Each structure stands twice: as structure tokens, then as C-alpha cells.
Structure 1
Amino acid sequence: MRIFLAAYLAAVVILGGLAIAGGLALYGNLGPDGAAEEAASEHGYNLAGWEINHFPEKWLHKLQHLFHGPSEQDRTDAICEYFQTAARLANSAPQPDAEAEKRLAELENDVEDAIEGRATAILEDQKLMLQPPLFSDLGLVFPPVDFEIDGTPRVLAISPRDRIELQNSYLLEPDIPLQEIDQIEHDAESANVDGHGVSALIIRTGGFSSYPSVVFADAPYDSLMETVFHEWLHSYLIFFPLGEGYFRSAETRTLNESVANMGGKELARLYFERYGTLDQACGAQPRPSVTPAPVPTGFDFTSEMRALRRQVEAMLAQGQVEGAEALMAAKRDEFQTKGVFIRRLNQAYFAFHGFYADSPGSIDPVGPKLQTLLERAGSPGEFVRRASAVTTRADLDKLLE
């Protein structure tokens, strides 16, 4: 048994190495050069350093609890207390609550372990289990579900002004003051004056597929679970054509991100059906002290955004760059009056979010086609297995014939 566990841990270490290599590949394929890189250089995200700091600590904690894991009730109690404490901390803002922050830190590893164990059970049910050499008889999920609740990296996205295209991107550290974010975007745009120049935007990510993956620390339980499954699917797909081809084309990357997005949401739905939402498992939860403005009845954000995207694409194709930018700025202000806040809406916004074909900012027909595949598959697991061999839109069309 020790030999198997040692080999299994070695395989997990290899996954960590692949995560670092993937991050470096992302930088090599999309990383900006020139002014954009210079603007962001002081706030670059240290992926290798993050792995070195978190990977050993996380697996040491796992090994300590390998044979004496918590009961299901202990898992539920830890999850309930964690998110109740997080809600109390959010309601105390802007006043710091040192006691709540300390308790969150104490609970974090146990909550991660609890969620990882439950997520693993869902993946087992869906038969999303690789069988690497030595482990085929052990019935272990591989890659193991492994995530860290932490600050997620930001992304500086760069698109040409005269079209919507993710030309470059750069990982940035999580905690950058808003004033510096504005300055980085300004510097990236003003220094790249070539024809129509570029559009820049710094975006907060909900998660990042390192190993362990990173999940945004302030995410509510439902969003956190979608992200946990989303990032795990990226690790899983590395071993299939859809993951292997991630950096080869924007087409494959869109398919990969969209499958992870849709599959992650469906797996999270199954998770909550089995284990319950916070309200179901823990009783009524603390509500935000400030109630967000209600979205007006009849306002369909997804439809509005997709209509805007089409209009902007048409204007840019006709060379109406300034007009398209003025329209996006006006729509951003309009959305805010309807309860939807977008800090900055520009070409880079659509370029980044366009990789998620099921998102409001995308008009890629891949989204509806993948939805059809999901419905035909009958389960999230079968959907992922069928999609894992797809690398082009033509592949997807053939699969749907």
C-alpha cells in the first residue's frame, strides 16, 4: 500500500509540475511584450512561487488525515461554520474583524478537504476517473480534486481597438489597488499606438488552473463549487486532445473553456442536489447588510450583452472604432442603472469573455452547440467524455451529426 501511495503522490507532484509548465506556456503563447508587459511588470503573478508555497503544505495536511478522515457531519459543520463566518466578516466591512479572519484561516484546510472529498464522490458517480498505471485497481479519482481558497490572479487582457481579439494576456498578482489598475490599463493603451492602438482591461479571475487550483477566497458557496469543478476539468482534460491542444489555437481554447464552464456548472448542480445548499444543510444564512439593487423586471442581461457584441463587431468592421467605444461606454452606464456593474466595457472585455462561449459576452455558436451535446449526452460525465476528443468546431459539428 505504501508503494502505491508513494507512486500516487509522485503522479500528483508531476501534475503540479505540469501546472507550472502550463502557466509558463500560457505566458509564452499569450504573454504581452513591449509597453503592455512593462506596464504590468511590477505586479506579475509568481506562479512557481505560489506552487512552492502551497503544494507541500496542502499534501502534508492530506497525509496527516489519510486514515482518520472526518465524518460527514464534521464536514458539514466545517462548511457551515466557514461560510457563516465569511458572511459575518463581509457584513462587518469596512471594519476589520480579526476574530472572524482568524477563524476562517483555522477552518480553511478542513473545508477544502471536506469539499474535495464530496466533489470526488460526484466525479466517481459520473465515472470521470482516469486510470494511470499502478492505480487501475485502486478506484482512485485522478487527477485528485485539489484546490486552495486564496486570492486569485488577475489578468491583463489586450485586444486591438479595431477588432475583438485576445492578442495578449498577462497574469497579475491578486491585490492591486484600483488606482494602480487604472494606471496599468492607461499605460498599456497609451504606449501601444499602432494604427488604432490597443484596448486593455484587468480582470479578476474566479479561479486558476494551477495544481492545486486556486479558487477566489470571497466566492459564495455556489460559485466556489462551480469553480472547483471547472478548474478540475482543466486538469482532467490535459490528458485528452481537448486539453492537449489548449495552446494551439483560439478555437480549441474556446472549446476547452466552454466545456469546463458548462461541465463545472452541471457537476456543481449534482453536488448541491446530494449535499444541499447552505440554507438546506446549515439553516437560514446571514444575509448581506447591504441589499443589492434589484434588476428591473424584463431586463435580460445576456440578450442585451450579445446584442451589444454583435453591434460592436459590425461597427468595428466598418472602421467606426470611436463610435463603438462610445456605445460600449454608454451601455456600461445603462447596465449600472439596472443593477449590473461592469467597471470597464471595451474590446478587451469582449475578447477575454468570448473564450467562454456560454457567457453573456460571447456570440460564438459553439455555446449552443455544446448545450445540444450536453442535452444529448444525458449526464455531465458523458458530456465531458464526448467533448474531450473535440479540438475544432468541425469536430463538434461531426459529433452532433
Structure 2
Amino acid sequence: MKKIIPFPRLLALLIIALTLLFTPGSLPRLPSTPYEQARVFTRSIEFDYVAWGARASLDKLRQIALGASHYLSEDQQKQVVMEYIDLVSQSVHLEAQIEQIYSEPSITDPQNFSIPWRDQLSQVQSRLKKTAPLAESILQQQISLTLRDLDLSALGQPIPPVLFQVTELPKALIISPRSVIRQDAFVSLEANLPLDQITGLEEQIARQMDVSALVEDVGGIGMYPTMIIRTTNLSFLIEVAAHEWIHNFLTLRPLGWNYDTSPELRSMNETTANLSGKEISQAVLRRFYPELLPKPQPAPSGTLSAAPIESPPSEPVFDFRAEMHTTRLKADELLAAGKIEEAEAYMEERRQLFLQNGYRIRKLNQAYFAFHGAYADVPGGAAGEDPVGPAVVALREKSPSLAAFLRRIAWITSLDDLQQAVSAPD
């Protein structure tokens, strides 16, 4: 396997520059904006990106200086990554067991009762702390090699270099007007806020600003190095890392520069990152972890003249995306008619329906749709009738490669330009 040649000094300078460039919230905002109004309530609990970025950059510089992943064979690299995923799985399982012990009323002394599980968790986390940096370095290298294969590199290196760290992620406070579904503010909060504080914050902001507010979890943050959620799913981990790298790639180009200019451009950015992240993840798996790809289904046996086997009727399956799509369309219709309270009552009624069908949605409101509706790479769902997602998908489908798609869309800065690119002759 060909190796990407590291350039420690160049990368050190590049990491520092990109960390400063991609750190969120570095630009001053006018006090009159919804963002600044929301920060009146959040300043003391906001996530410290500068401190996190400094620590993560130092960690990555140490990893680059050691270059340990370059001394391992491809098989050894795979073993390290799979060991890391197994350790994460063990950690998640033990944490769930401990939480269950503390929530069980019949256990009068959970502190002592849980000692064996807590000791085991401590051992697993100690091994995980040692394994994670090397596993991250290997995955960074594998994603980089795949990006080179996809013609998304310069002189053998993707720009910016792929750097990520699995970490506890900040929570996102989303602000939308009540009269229309639109993200007006996004504020990053500390990772471990208790639920009662979260709900209290949402209610206070909603009441005093007369807006729709929601605090949500996120899967990744596109600062530099990028922040990635802990997961036991290797395919998803790679997908999120690639998604956030796409944001860094676009930030160096007009589409990324204009991320916050309009809801359409934010949706264009997120849908592009979603599509590309999934495609890159599948390419990494094909090259390095083919055994994790879905197995092809065998062709059905029998002759064409054979009579079909009738199966007993089953209850209809609850289609989350279709139901969420229906909810968004109706909410948009009510809001457009000025029926704000009716729309909010309807969304709460629909939330109860989702809960009854196993989907734990804590709050379904305008802010929920403003946040989730920007990820429109799959038809239906929270995006409703937003034309951006289908247009981005159409442009990818008519592009000869992922690289051609990204180089085209990276320079598009309006929905009109996107639709013209889709309708233009090949």
C-alpha cells in the first residue's frame, strides 16, 4: 500500500492556521441579531472551542510527529481499528449496565454493587485511551488515500489534511421564528448539560424572545481538527469524518464561505456533505474493510411460471420519513396561514404519534425542522418541499464523479445557480 508522505513542519503550520480559520463563533455579531440575543442566556454555558481546538491540535501534532501508523502493515492497521471499535462497544455496554444499576430501585447501595462493572469500565477506558489516537491516525490515513483515489487531493494530500478527534460533542441550541421554519441562530453549548437545565433554557428563551428554541445533539462539528461523535459503527464513524472534512473543503471555497448567508445555502452545504460523506465512507470500506459492506442478496430460485407464495397480511410498518414529511408539510401550511398556535399544537400531537411508534423525539417544533430539514439528501423527511435537496442530488447524479460534483457545487452561491447547473446540458 502506498503511503502518504508526512510533512511535519508544513502540517504543523497548516493545522494551526486551519484551527483558527475553522473555529466557530470567531466573528463579531451585532447585538440585535437572534444569535446575540440568545447568547444573553447562554454565555456562561457555551462550549469553549478555542481551548478544545488547542488541545486537539497539540494531540494531532504529536501523532504526526510519531507517525506510528506508517510503520504498521495494512492488516495490522485494520486490527487496531477493529480493536478500537470493540473497546468502544465494551465501554458503551458497561456504561449502560452501570446506569441501569443506579436506576434500579431494588438496589439500595448502587455505589458498592456496581464496583465490578466500574472496575471493568476503568480498564476498558484505559485501553481505549491508548488505542484511540493510533486508530484515529490510521482512519485519517485511510480516508486520505481514498480521497486521493477519488481525485480529491493535490500532490497526494487532500487539502485540508484529514484530521479528526472522537470526543464529547457540544450541544446545539437552535433558534427559529415561530411564524416560519428558519434557523436564525445556532449556539454551541457545553456537552454535559443536565436535561432540566436544557428544558429550562429552551423555555426561558422561547418565552422572552418569542421564538421556537431547541437544544439538540450533533454528530460532528466542522472545526479543525474536526469533532466526531463516539460510535460503535465504523461505517458511520468514517461517514461523519468524511462529512466534516467536506465542510472544511467547502470552507475554502465560495459555497462554504456563504454557509450562513441563507437557509438555502446552509441546506446546500449540509446536503452536499451528507451525500459526499456517505459516498466516501463506502469507498473506504470497499478498499480497506470489504467484509463490512452489505452482502449481495442471492437471486430468487424457481421458475418464472411458479405460483407466488402468499404470505399472511402484516400490520403496516410505521414509515418515519414519510410521517415526518407529512408533519412538515402540514406545519408549513398552518404557519403560512398565520395559524401559529394551531401549528404548534399539531406538531406536539404528531410528536406523541412518533413516541407511540418508538421514536423518542423530546420536542417537535419549528426549531426542530429548521435544524433537521437542512439535511436533505434523502427524499421526504424533515425537509418538506424544500427544493434544495433534490437539486443537489440531481447535480450529483449528472456529474461524472464525486470530484467533478464537488468542484462544481463548491462555486455555486444561490439556489438559482444550482437549478441552472442542474438544467444545463451535459
Fold shared per TM-score above 0.5: yes
Which position in structure 2 is the counterpart of 1:260?
Answer: 273
Aligned 1:133-172 pairs, distance under 5 A = 138-172=155-189
Give the Å deviation of 1:352: 1.3
CA offsets 1:255-285 (integer angstroms, 9 cap, x no match) = 112111111111112122222267579xxxx
What SS class does the counterpart of residue 349 from structure 1 fall into?
Answer: helix
Which position in structure 2 is the counterpart of 1:19?
Answer: 22
What SS class does the counterpart of residue 247 from structure 1 fall into?
Answer: coil
Tell me: CA distance 1:224–1:25, structure 2 relative to 1, closer, same or farther (3 Å).
Answer: farther
Letter of the structure 1 residue corresponding to residue 336 of structure 2: A
Tell me: CA distance 1:31–1:85, structure 2 relative to 1, closer, same or farther (3 Å).
Answer: farther
Which position in structure 1 is the counterpart of 2:151?
Answer: 127
Aligned to 1:10, which of 9, 13, 31?
13
Which position in structure 1 is the counterpart of 2:329?
Answer: 310
Distance in 2, Cα, partners of 1:327 & 1:26: 38
Which position in structure 1 is the counterpart of 2:58?
Answer: 56
Task: Please report the TM-score for the alignment, with normalisation by the length of structure 2.
Answer: 0.82
Residue 44 in structure 1 maps to residue 46 in structure 2: yes
The higher-RCO structure (CA 8 Å, 6+ apart) is 1
Does structure 2 retain, via aligned residues, the 8 Å contact 1:31–1:169?
no
Give the Å deviation of 1:332: 1.2
Does structure 1 retain, via aligned residues, the 8 Å contact 2:285–2:292?
no
Distance in 1, Cα, partners of 2:43 & 2:354: 33
Does structure 2 retain, via aligned residues, the 8 Å contact 1:116–1:145?
yes
Return the index of the structure with the highest Cα Rg: 2
Letter of the structure 2 residue corresponding to residue 338 of structure 1: N
CA offsets 1:136-178 (integer angstroms, 9 cap, x no match) = xx42222110000001111111111121111222111111111
Residue 89 in structure 1 maps to residue 87 in structure 2: no
CA offsets 1:5-45 (integer angstroms, 9 cap, x no match) = 5234323321111112x4324977976233x3233222101
Give the Å deviation of 1:323: 1.5
Distance in 1, Cα, partners of 2:334 & 2:221: 33
Distance in 2, Cα, partners of 1:201 & 1:277: 39
Distance in 2, Cα, partners of 1:26 & 1:147: 26
Deviates more, 1:350-359 or 1:108-117: 350-359
Residue 186 in structure 1 maps to residue 207 in structure 2: no
What SS class does the counterpart of residue 23 from structure 1 fall into?
Answer: coil
Tell me: CA distance 1:73–1:280, structure 2 relative to 1, closer, same or farther (3 Å).
Answer: farther
Does structure 2 retain, via aligned residues, the 8 Å contact 1:221–1:278?
no
Give the Å deviation of 1:317: 1.5
Distance in 2, Cα, partners of 1:365 & 1:61: 43
Distance in 2, Cα, partners of 1:328 & 1:212: 37
Unaligned runs of 5+ in 1: 132-137, 282-295
Unaligned runs of 5+ in 2: 99-117, 295-314
Q: How many residues align?
A: 373
Aligned to 1:225, which of 227, 238, 242?
238
Residue 365 in structure 1 maps to residue 368 in structure 2: no
Of all paired residues, the percent bearing the same amino acid is 31
Task: Please report the TM-score for the alignment, with normalisation by the length of structure 1.
Answer: 0.86
Distance in 2, Cα, partners of 1:278 & 1:187: 50
Tell me: CA distance 1:46–1:328, structure 2 relative to 1, closer, same or farther (3 Å).
Answer: same
Distance in 1, Cα, partners of 2:158 & 2:293: 28
Residue 202 in structure 1 maps to residue 223 in structure 2: no
CA RMSD of aligned residues (A): 2.4
What SS class does the counterpart of residue 155 from structure 1 fall into?
Answer: strand
Distance in 1, Cα, partners of 2:68 & 2:124: 28
Letter of the structure 2 residue corresponding to residue 16 of structure 1: T
Distance in 2, Cα, partners of 1:268 & 1:3: 23
Which position in structure 2 is the counterpart of 1:344?
Answer: 363
Distance in 1, Cα, partners of 2:142 & 2:6: 26
What SS class does the counterpart of residue 33 from structure 1 fall into?
Answer: helix
Tell me: CA distance 1:26–1:139, structure 2 relative to 1, closer, same or farther (3 Å).
Answer: farther
Distance in 2, Cα, partners of 1:394 & 1:112: 40
Tell me: CA distance 1:154–1:329, structure 2 relative to 1, closer, same or farther (3 Å).
Answer: same
Distance in 2, Cα, partners of 1:180 & 1:386: 44
**Structure 1 runs of 4+ off > 6 angstroms?**
26-31
Distance in 2, Cα, partners of 1:57 & 1:87: 23
Tell me: CA distance 1:280–1:313, structure 2 relative to 1, closer, same or farther (3 Å).
Answer: closer
Which position in structure 2 is the counterpart of 1:383?
Answer: 405
What SS class does the counterpart of residue 32 from structure 1 fall into?
Answer: helix
Give the Å deviation of 1:390: 1.1
Distance in 2, Cα, partners of 1:255 & 1:10: 31
Which position in structure 2 is the counterpart of 1:290?
Answer: none
